[in-house]
Amino acid sequence: MHATALIAEDEPLLAAALAAELQRLWPELQVVATVGHGAAAVEQALALRPDICFLDIRMPGQNGIEAAQALAEDWPDDAGTGAPFPLIVFVTAYEQYALQAFQAAAVDYVLKPVDPARLAQTCARLRSRLAQRAGTGQPLEAAVAQLRALLQAPGLAPAGAEPLQVIQAGVGQAIHMVPVTEVICFEAADKYVRVLTAEREYLIRTSLRELLPRLDPQQFWLVHRGVVVRATAIEAAVRDETGKLRLHLRGRPERPVVSRIHAHRFRPM
């Protein structure tokens, strides 16, 4: 079976070893790109549309799970594209308790250093899944459901931390103490996070990844990989002319987009 693959691994020797082992086990598999970080993985996958993506969990910038999430959010709808969403295989050195999260989400994985026997099982599984979807395509919704289950799995959830009560935002020579209860939205912006209240906007250097474990998930909803919104500040969720779900926020003009992975939050009761 001819197929294409992308490898995202920040350690060149491990990337080369994986590619060589894949060539031995699956000669018809063509590795179309090897990249060293998550952002490049997303860019190349969107450009090349491989059948399979091998994503290292720990990479600079976006990790493997974040890269998969970004792909699911940016991948065009299956209909008419001729390029179904790629099968995702995570390459990981996680301990067994975390691997249960991959198993629960029905997402495949291989351990580092790569074990040839385990990789052979993965290749057989991938061949079978590619054969099953031939002619019908892999529904994007199925991949989104797998990733959603993975993101919610306790084995991979960020470690708990002391709940955040106040945002300390530097403005000139002053430190503004912004109660978290006044925050309407957190939005990732380059090296900063925008903190939006009804009255003003602040920039902080703490990443959204660091903030999330300290926010109450019942009050603050992750609606996109770069956007967290206070649930009570959401006035409505409305589909625009392109079909994207956008949020109308109380007291703010911004209209953040809800990703496919988090759209399930917005259904009629």
- The CATH number for 68's domain is 3.40.50.2300
Q: Are residues 28 and 109 in the same domain?
A: yes
Q: Please give the mean pLDDT across all residues of the chain.
A: 89
- Whether residue 5 has pLDDT greater than 80: yes
| Per-residue pLDDT at 159 | 59
Per residue in 27-36, pLDDT tens?
999 999 999 9
Of residues 95 and 221, more confidently modeled:
221
Q: What is the pLDDT, as a whole number, of residue 206?
A: 92
- Residue finishing a domain among 156, 179, 209: 156
What integer pLDDT is reported at residue 242 of this predicted model?
87
Cβ–Cβ < 8 Å for 4, 50: yes
Q: The domain containing residue 207 runs over which residues?
A: 166-265
Residue 137 reports pLDDT greater than 60: no
Answer with the residue of higher pLDDT: 92 or 253: 253
Q: What is the pLDDT of residues 169-186, one digit of tens each?
A: 999 999 999 999 999 999
Q: How confident is the model at residue 142 (pLDDT cuts 50, 70, 90)?
A: confident
pLDDT-derived band of residue 155, with 50, 70 and 90 as boundaries?
low
Domain boundary among 156, 186, 206: 156
Query: pTM (2 decimals)?
Result: 0.84
Q: Residue 141 has what pLDDT?
A: 83
27 and 139 together in one domain = yes
pLDDT at 101: 75
The pairing of strands 87-92 and 52-56 is: parallel
- Percentage of residues in the chain with pLDDT exceeding 90? 62
122 lies in the same domain as 24: yes
Q: Do 260 and 220 belong to one domain?
A: yes
Gap between the Cα atoms of 94 and 194, Å rounded: 32
Kindly report which listed range (19-28, 65-74, 137-146) carries the lowest average pLDDT score: 137-146
Model pLDDT, residue 160: 58
3-state secondary structure the chain: CCEEEEEECCCHHHHHHHHHHHHHHCCCEEEEEEECCHHHHHHHHHHHCCCEEEEECCCCCCCHHHHHHHHHHHCCCCCCCCCCCCEEEEEECCCHHHHHHHHHCCCEEEECCCCHHHHHHHHHHHHHHHHHHCCCCCCHHHHHHHHHHHHHCHHHCCCCCCCCCEEEEEECCEEEEEEHHHEEEEEEECCEEEEEECCCEEEECCCHHHHHHHCCCCCEEEEECCEEEEHHHEEEEEECCCCCEEEEECCCCCCCEECHHHHHHCCCC
- pLDDT > 60? residue 62: yes
Question: Is the pLDDT higher at 23 or at 95?
Answer: 23
CA angle 252, 258, 263 (to 5 degrees): 130
Residue 8 placed within a domain = yes
Q: In terms of domains, do 52 and 176 share one?
A: no
pLDDT tier, 111 (very low <50, low <70, confident <90, very high otherwise) = confident
Residues 66 and 7 in one domain: yes
For 208-257, write each residue's pLDDT tens digit.
988 998 999 999 999 999 999 999 999 999 999 988 999 999 999 999 99
| Total structural domains within the chain | 2
Q: Which of 97, 129, 156 is the last residue of a domain?
A: 156
Q: Are residues 150 and 190 both part of a single domain?
A: no
Average of pLDDT values for 130-154?
78
In a domain, 249, yes or no: yes
pLDDT reported for residue 95: 65
> The domain spanning residue 227 has which CATH number?
2.40.50.1020
- Say if 222 falls within a structural domain: yes
Per-residue pLDDT, averaged over 102-131, amounts to 88
**Same domain? 254 vs 142:** no
